[in-house]
Structures are given as structure tokens and as C-alpha cells.
Structure 1
């Protein structure tokens, strides 16, 4: 029971710095934003390199944080239902934040805040798992998330849209390479199959193993 509780609680810890930094921004205003948001200017960024991560937990107004926290909470709940590990959720979220931040440093102007890129990185994985596990209700929910997200992003500038899209790209690449690695680990090598044939005979192989030896 404790293991299941720990499994769930660790991923929900992502909400703590988001809510905490929102309180900091409300309390300290522009002074906090200038130190935590990601600046597009390279010189300013070098003086506060931590902003490549902290920007993803900073929100400047209540509507922004309500939408992002709501989306993140929903994805975290779905990820539990799909059996996605804490390590994968946290790692993918941070990869989305970092990749979106790096893209903003290259093409952006002004400052960047918000968890949207990290949230977007989680969407392809949860969507893929919902299809693999044939969870129709979850698939419909994820399609709603995508439609809502793209409708919201249309109102933003091209740079923000590009940074947001980077999250989806990172999530998609994560799915492709993690599944490929999993497949390679689960697929027995040709040497093992030859040894199995020598010991137990060709008919002991499964149809997939026989195809692999051809």
C-alpha cells in the first residue's frame, strides 16, 4: 500500500514548485519574474542559468496557472492509470522544459514563463499508452486535450507556438526511441535463437522467432 502511495505522490510533487513560485511572483512581482523567467538575451541568461529550468514553474497570472495546473493534474492522473513510472513522467516533463527553453534562446524575444512545454511533452506518451492499452475513454480525453491545447495556442505568437510544439516533438521522439529500445531488449539475438534450435529443435521456436531467423 505504501509503495503505491509513493508511486503516485512523487509525480504530484511537480505541482508544488509551480504553486509555490506563483505565490512568490504574486508576492514579489517583477523582481521575482526577472530572476526566474527565461530571458532571450544571452548575456542575461548567463547571469541566471537556472532560469532554463525555473521558467517552466513560473506563472504570472491566475488564468495561466489554472489552465496549466489543470492540464498537468489531468495528465498525471492519466499517467498513473497507464502505469507510466514516476521517473519517466518527471524526466519527460523536464526534457520538454529544457528543449523548449533552448529553442526560445535561439529564436525568442523577451522572456518565457510557464509549464506548457513540459506538459506538451507528456501528451504523446499518454496518448500512445491509451491506444496500446485500448482505453477508449482515455483516448477521447487525450484527443480533447489536444484540441483544447491547439485552440488555445492559436491566440499566441509564433515563437510561443514553436516552443510549445517542441514539447510535442520531444514527447513523440521519447515514445519512438523508448519503444525501439524496449523492442530490442525483448527480442532475442540470433545467436540465442540458433542455440535454442540446436538444443530443442527448430519447432521449439515461436512463429516470430522463426521469422527472425529467415
Structure 2
């Protein structure tokens, strides 16, 4: 099977958001490498820089107004192997946790909202903080770090005592990994990559806020998914109407103080209680029934 066919299959499979996000980043990275080579050898390096100006996020508000799509494209764009490798590894490791416990839609919400928040904080800082005044006209930003850090902090907020085995270090709880990355971004907010580190902090804030709001029953990604569902619905074929007559019976009852349905799908109250238990005692403390309810909730959306 060809590489192209593998890519097509990855985008056709349902509930495959993590792999799709990684693939998009890798494909953009490879395409830009090829474009840089071709443009440099044929037209000159200036042509590639001009192309990047339509993808990277500009700190200058006047430029951004003419290219608003860059608030999205910048967090799918990388230059340098270490840059994309580090981001994609963190996206895979921590994204697996979000995907397993909260589902693909929550993972997509965190990635997109975290990237947007990082980009907005970057532009606001460069335009309203005097320290960055000299850089505002020429600074541009690319990279998925803000999106990835949103996912890292979200996973650490949801499962603070979950442990990763790090090479040469051993088992480390992910709350300490997230804390280290946040402190690293704070320390770099006055360095050469100040704009990027400020964006990281915007993503980290969204990751923490997203989980805290979710535990209170508020899904910050709901408006985004409503928009996506509307757009995709425009391109879906409407099925032919079939008129059938059948008798239906609806039953609702209460179990353990929470409303359930005959389909067995857990209520929001049940999910909130399970998330609180994970936050305080870890995923391992859940019963088999609670794990099943969490899985059903992730499939509901």
C-alpha cells in the first residue's frame, strides 16, 4: 500500500483526530521543505520568505488584518526538524491521554483554541507592552507549541498523578512535566524567542481553563464544533426520506441520584463526578463501570 493511500485512510477513519493532526503538521513541513528548495534554486530565497508571510502569524496588526487566516495556519507550520519532532512527540504522548479520557472532539478543541489563544496573546503583547515595541513591526511566529502546551497542561490538570517513564530519569508525574514546560516558557519570555514563549503561556492557560470549565459542566469547544458541524453538513448528501411507522417506548429513571436513559449513556452529572475522582485519585481509582461510562461519554460526541 502506498504512502498516499495510508494518508487517505488516516483521514477517512472516524475518531482519528490525533493521527490526523500529526499528519497535517508533517505534510505541511515536508511541502515547505520542497517549496523552499525549489523557490531558492529557481527564483531566489526572497520568494520563499514571501510565501511564508502568508502562513506565519505577524505581530503587526495592520498586516494581520489583511491575512487573518494566519491565526490558524501558523500552528500547523514548522521550520527545523527539532522544532517539529519535539512538538509532535508531546502532542502524541499527551494527546493520547486527552483522546482516551475525553474523546477526539475535546482533543481537537484544545489544539485549535490553545493555538488561537497563544496567537492572540502574542499579538497583544507585541502591540501593547513597551518592551516589545521595537520588534512589533517585523516579528512573525510559527509552530504548534501553544496548541501542544494547551494539551499538555490539560492532561496534567485532568490526570495530575499520571506517570510517564522518561529516559535517564525514570517515572515522573505529568503535573511536574507540565510545570517544567510552563516555567521554561516564562523564563524565555524575555529572550530571543519571546513571542513564541508568550504564545506558549496563552496555550497553557487555555489547557488549564478548559479542564476546569469541563469539570463544571461547561465545554469551551462547543461553539467551535457547532461551526464545524455546520460547515461539514453543507457538503454532506442528504439521505432520501423514508416514512416508517413504528412504536417507540421511552424510559427514564434514576440510578445513584443521576438521570440515565435506556441506552445507558451517562449524564453530565455522572461524568463530572468521574472527572473529579480522576483529578483527586487518578484514573486507576475508577471502577470498571465508571471507566465504561467515561468511554461512552467520549463516543457520545
> Normalised by the shorter chain, which TM-score bucket?
0.7 to 0.9
User: 1:160 offset after TM fit, Å?
Assistant: 2.7
User: 1:107 offset after TM fit, Å?
Assistant: 1.8
Contact 1:94 1:118 in 2 (8 A): yes
Map of 1:174 onto structure 2:
210
Q: Distance in 2 between matches of 1:24 and 1:137?
A: 33
Contact 1:12 1:76 in 2 (8 A): no
Aligned pair 1:186/2:269, yes or no?
A: yes
Map of 2:177 onto structure 1:
145
CA distance 1:185–1:148, shift in 2 (3 Å): closer
Superposed CA RMSD? 2.7
| Of 96, 100, 103, the match for 1:85 | 103
Structure 1, residues 22-73: CA drift from partner, whole Å, max 9, x if none?
Answer: 1232223323321100011122112211100000011111111111111111
CA distance 1:73–1:136, shift in 2 (3 Å): closer
CA distance 1:142–1:181, shift in 2 (3 Å): same
Contact 2:146 2:202 in 1 (8 A): yes
User: 1:140 offset after TM fit, Å?
Assistant: 2.7
User: 1:149 offset after TM fit, Å?
Assistant: 2.6
Map of 1:105 onto structure 2:
123
| Of 17, 26, 30, the match for 2:24 | 17
Q: Distance in 1 between matches of 2:82 and 2:163?
A: 30
CA distance 1:104–1:127, shift in 2 (3 Å): same
User: 1:11 offset after TM fit, Å?
Assistant: 2.4
1:6-85 → structure 2 map (5 Å cutoff): 6-7=14-15, 9-26=16-33, 27-28=35-36, 29-80=48-99, 82-85=100-103
User: 1:120 offset after TM fit, Å?
Assistant: 1.0
Aligned pair 1:123/2:152, yes or no?
A: yes
CA distance 1:152–1:65, shift in 2 (3 Å): farther
Contact 1:18 1:57 in 2 (8 A): yes
Indicate the SS of the match to 2:68.
coil
Q: Distance in 2 between matches of 1:136 and 1:180?
A: 25
User: 1:151 offset after TM fit, Å?
Assistant: 6.7
Unaligned runs of 5+ in 2: 1-12, 37-47, 127-135, 166-170, 219-257, 259-266, 271-301
User: 1:141 offset after TM fit, Å?
Assistant: 5.0
TM-score using structure 1 length: 0.72
Q: How many pairs were matched up? A: 179
User: 1:124 offset after TM fit, Å?
Assistant: 2.5
User: 1:135 offset after TM fit, Å?
Assistant: 3.9
CA distance 1:76–1:49, shift in 2 (3 Å): same
Indicate the SS of the match to 2:53.
helix
More strand by share: 2
More helix by share: 1
